[in-house]
């Protein structure tokens, strides 16, 4: 692996290639240090043979284009359904590369690294697989990306938001969700607009939340100061803690405008419910992990007024979003969540990359995505940096009102937003149309 995207079809160590945008020495150094720490996952094993077998098979142009979809059953999600819908549409329209079918392999990492590592090794040894989609948690996605890169597999994560994912030099890894730094900036800008000047930041520690919770909490605290906001405290808690009132009670005596809640349900639901039971009236600003219908089921209307970040807006009238939502509801009799949209977009991106590259070679697909612009998706129009991060990705915010999610008008607009199929801003879209 190296710190650049390679422009030709070759095993990872075979040829030099096109250099990526310079990033300065410190991010690269941090990535190399992390790479060294995680190298043990590969068991000091070389995957060169697997990469060469995969390359030869892909260059033959024979058989279906096989994509592995790895969901995480530790949290409710519709990743598999989103990927299934994309594959169905692609095959109904003639497949890819002159009629080759796109086939999916469905797996579950259970949100646990040992399981994710086992899956990654299994897929590394399957020469027919050209790409992997999924791995919801950063704690799993960051380490297994090394195995995928070493074995020449394209990996598109649908959930890894930790900045470390793109700090590791890996030409095969991309993600379709914003990193925590982008989400933190969006949340801080919204807090500033709403006048939430005095804030306490809380985050969940523990399995599947340490990376995410600490990363987003640290990023938010830093950018909030830049927005002129006052961070009174940063507090953390463990998943096994049932009574959070000892942490929350002292906050009642602070001049508190907002409580930032970062982590996962059901424990974040307990935090919100217990804060309300203590008559804390501060606005609760939740991370994207709280964009979950289960939030609406909290007893005693505890979720009322809670604001959460969201990576997907299902009421946009742009054709790509409208057609996806309509098709998903018809196929599965339910409304798609952000995970379904991300998986759908990832599989559609792979198909589009096949057509752009005229190839199913994983490195050709990665380069097609990195160096070509404006791939349309259900969630956004995608452009990728040389590091594999999506650029110009929109973030929306929802507020719980009368037991339902209602979108706020304060969307976060990146400095250089991608056009949403000709719609420059979601603010110009009338959801009622």
**In order of start, what are the domains of the chain with their CATH numbers?**
4-178+317-391 (3.40.50.2300), 181-310+395-428 (3.40.50.2300)
Residues constituting the chain: 433
The pair of three-digit structure tokens given for residue 18, joined into one six-digit string: 């096109």
Average pLDDT over residues 194-221: 86
| Cα–Cα dist 185/216, whole Å | 10
Largest CA distance in the chain: 69
Average pLDDT over residues 229-258: 94
| Cα–Cα dist 132/11, whole Å | 17
User: Residue 285 pLDDT > 80, yes or no?
Assistant: yes
Q: In terms of pLDDT, which residue wins out, 335 or 423?
A: 335
pLDDT of residue 212: 80
pLDDT band of 411, cuts 50, 70, 90: low
Mean pLDDT of the residues in the chain: 85
pLDDT of residue 308: 97
pLDDT band of 209, cuts 50, 70, 90: low
CA distance readout (Å), 179 to 132, 170, 274, 311? 19, 16, 29, 11
pLDDT of residue 214: 87
Percent helix, percent strand, percent coil in the chain, to nearest 5: 40, 20, 40
| Cα–Cα dist 25/35, whole Å | 15
The pair of three-digit structure tokens given for residue 421, joined into one six-digit string: 């199929």
pLDDT band of 210, cuts 50, 70, 90: low
Average pLDDT over residues 138-160: 95
| Residue 30 C-alpha from the chain's centroid | 21
| Cα–Cα dist 195/318, whole Å | 32
pLDDT digits (tens, 9 = 90+) for 368-399: 999 878 888 999 989 999 999 998 888 999 99
| Beta carbons of 425 and 404 less than 8 angstroms apart | no
Average pLDDT over residues 401-409: 94
State whether residue 363 is helix, strand or coil: helix
| Beta carbons of 47 and 124 less than 8 angstroms apart | yes
| Cα–Cα dist 415/382, whole Å | 15
pLDDT of residue 75: 81
| Cα–Cα dist 101/88, whole Å | 10
User: Residue 244 pLDDT > 50, yes or no?
Assistant: yes
State whether residue 346 is helix, strand or coil: helix
pLDDT of residue 379: 93
Burial (CB count <10 Å: 0-12, 13-18, 19+), residue 204: buried
pLDDT band of 76, cuts 50, 70, 90: confident
pLDDT digits (tens, 9 = 90+) for 6-58: 333 333 333 223 233 333 333 333 434 444 444 444 444 679 999 999 999 99
Average pLDDT over residues 154-167: 93
Phi/psi at 26 (5° precision)? -70, -45
pLDDT band of 207, cuts 50, 70, 90: low
| Cα–Cα dist 60/254, whole Å | 67
132-141, 208-217, 255-264, 319-328 — which is least confidently predicted?
Answer: 208-217
């Amino acid at each position: 692996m190296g710190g650049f995207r390679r422009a030709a079809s070759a095993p990872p160590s075979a040829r030099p290639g096109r250099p990526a945008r310079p990033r300065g020495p410190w991010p690269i150094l941090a990535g190399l240090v992390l790479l060294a720490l995680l190298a043990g996952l590969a068991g000091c094993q070389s995957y060169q043979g697997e990469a060469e077998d995969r390359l030869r098979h892909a260059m033959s142009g024979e058989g279906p284009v096989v994509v592995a979809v790895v969901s995480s059953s530790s949290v409710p999600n519709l990743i598999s359904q989103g990927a299934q819908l994309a594959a169905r549409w692609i095959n109904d329209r003639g497949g890819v590369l002159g009629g080759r079918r796109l086939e999916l392999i469905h797996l579950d990492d259970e949100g646990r690294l040992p399981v994710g590592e086992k899956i990654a090794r299994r897929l590394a040894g399957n020469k027919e697989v050209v790409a992997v989609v999924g791995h919801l948690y950063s704690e799993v996605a960051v380490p297994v990306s090394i195995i995928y890169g070493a074995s020449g597999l394209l990996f598109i994560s649908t959930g890894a938001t930790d900045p470390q994912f793109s700090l590791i030099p890996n030409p095969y890894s991309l993600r379709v969700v914003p990193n925590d730094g982008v989400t933190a900036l969006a949340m801080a800008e919204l807090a500033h607009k709403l006048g939430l000047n005095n804030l306490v930041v809380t985050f969940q520690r523990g399995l599947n939340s340490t990376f995410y919770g600490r990363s987003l909490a640290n990023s938010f605290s830093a950018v909030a100061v830049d927005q002129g906001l006052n961070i009174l405290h940063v507090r953390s808690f463990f998943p096994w803690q049932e009574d959070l009132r000892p942490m929350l009670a002292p906050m009642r005596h602070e001049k508190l405008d907002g409580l930032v809640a970062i982590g996962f349900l059901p424990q974040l639901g307990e935090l919100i419910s217990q804060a309300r039971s203590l008559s804390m009236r501060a606005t609760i600003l939740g991370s994207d992990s709280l964009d979950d219908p289960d939030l609406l089921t909290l007893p005693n209307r505890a979720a009322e007024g809670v604001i959460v970040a969201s990576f997907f807006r299902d009421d946009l009238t742009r054709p790509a979003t409208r057609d996806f939502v309509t098709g998903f509801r018809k196929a599965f009799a339910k409304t798609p969540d952000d995970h379904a949209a991300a998986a759908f977009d990832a599989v559609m991106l792979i198909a589009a990359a096949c057509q752009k590259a005229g190839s199913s070679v994983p490195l050709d697909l990665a380069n097609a995505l990195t160096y070509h612009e404006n791939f349309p998706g259900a969630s956004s129009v995608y452009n990728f940096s040389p590091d594999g991060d999506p650029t110009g990705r929109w973030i929306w915010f929802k507020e719980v009102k009368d037991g339902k999610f209602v979108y706020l008008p304060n969307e976060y607009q990146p400095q250089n937003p991608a056009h949403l199929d000709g719609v420059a801003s979601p603010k110009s879209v009338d959801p009622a149309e």
